[in-house]
Amino acid sequence: MGMKGSIVLFGPPGAGKGTQAAAIVDITGKPQISTGDMLREAVSSGSSLGMEAQSYMESGNLVPDEVIIGLIEERIKEPDATKGVLFDGFPRTIPQAEALSEITDVCAVISIEVPDENIVERIVGRRMDPETGEIFHISFKPPPSEISERLIQRKDDTEETVRQRLAAYHNQTKPLGEWYAERELLIPVDGSGTIEEVGEAVSSAVRSL
């Protein structure tokens, strides 16, 4: 398959995409582009894009394709993106993947597979360090006590919103996995183990490209 082009990190909400992205960046040297992080920055800066995206995100629905595609078209023009990037949380619909195929080559789609019953617990227990961006979990990756005061919880990380995010995943995003499988780009990885086990599986999938 080869490592030329971009890699897509694919999977349901809370699968561990953000957690595993750092290792892929280390191995490949490709920069991480997370549409979720870009949208959260837009929301906190109060830009018009952020204001448009906010209500979709807080209700657990996907932001419209044209907004996301516009965001990616701009980001991909940056000088660090010329040799391919690691997409995290993008594309999430077939129209987004079609638009992406017009602007860059995708060499592999790493699909972190986690059953729905594990997702809610992972998401509700997630905490983020606003200073470093590091992702923790109250049970599965407990933060050091000296930083626990400053950790934040995402507004969309409630049990109710997770259910809507999972519904959006099954209706709009999961069919994209089949779309990539038909193109022989999908590499399924078992995401149900520990963070370390999933990390090893993801790293070996990337090294074998």
Binding positions for ligand AP5, rule: CB under 6 A: 11, 13-19, 35-36, 39, 56-57, 60-63, 68, 89-90, 92, 96, 122-123, 125-126, 135-137, 140-141, 165, 193-195, 198
What Cα–Cα distance (Å) separates residue 43 from each residue in 67, 109, 187?
A: 13, 28, 33
Spatial CB neighbours of 161, under 8 Å, sequence gap ≥ 6: 58, 59, 60
Residue 51 CB, shortest distance to ligand AP5, in Å, is: 14
Residue among 75, 141, 154, 174 flagged as catalytic: 154
Instruction: Give residue number: closest CB to ligand AP5.
Output: 36
Angstrom distance (rounded) from CA 65 to CA 9: 18
d(CA 76, CA 93): 18
Query: Which class for 25: exposed (0-12), middle (13-18), buried (19 or more C-beta within 10 A)?
Result: middle
Residue type, 159: E
Of the candidates 30, 40, 122, 126, the residue annotated as catalytic is: 126
Task: Give me the residues paired with residue 8 across strands.
Answer: 87, 109
In the annotation, is 165 catalytic?
Answer: yes
Shortest distance, position 15 Cβ to ligand AP5, whole Å:
4
Residue closer to ligand AP5 by CB (options 14, 84) is: 14
Q: Is position 154 annotated as part of the catalytic site? A: yes
Say how far apart CA 9 and CA 136 lie, in whole Å: 19
Min dist. Cβ of residue 180 to ligand AP5 (A) = 14
Q: Which of 40, 92, 122, 127 is catalytic?
A: 92
* Counts of helices then strands in the chain (DSSP H, E): 9, 7
Q: State in angstroms the smallest separation of the CB of 166 from ligand AP5.
A: 9
Q: Which residue has the tokens 């507004």?
A: 155
Q: What 3-state class would DSSP assign to 109? A: strand
Q: Which is nearer to ligand AP5, 140 or 179 (CB)?
A: 140
Closest to ligand AP5 by CB, 49 or 108: 49
Residues comprising the chain, all counted:
209
- 30 vs 122, beta carbon nearer ligand AP5: 122
Q: Which is nearer to ligand AP5, 68 or 109 (CB)?
A: 68
For the question of residue 127 being annotated catalytic, the response is no
Q: How far is the CB of 109 from ligand AP5 (least distance, A)?
A: 14
Query: Catalytic site residues?
Result: 17, 92, 126, 154, 165
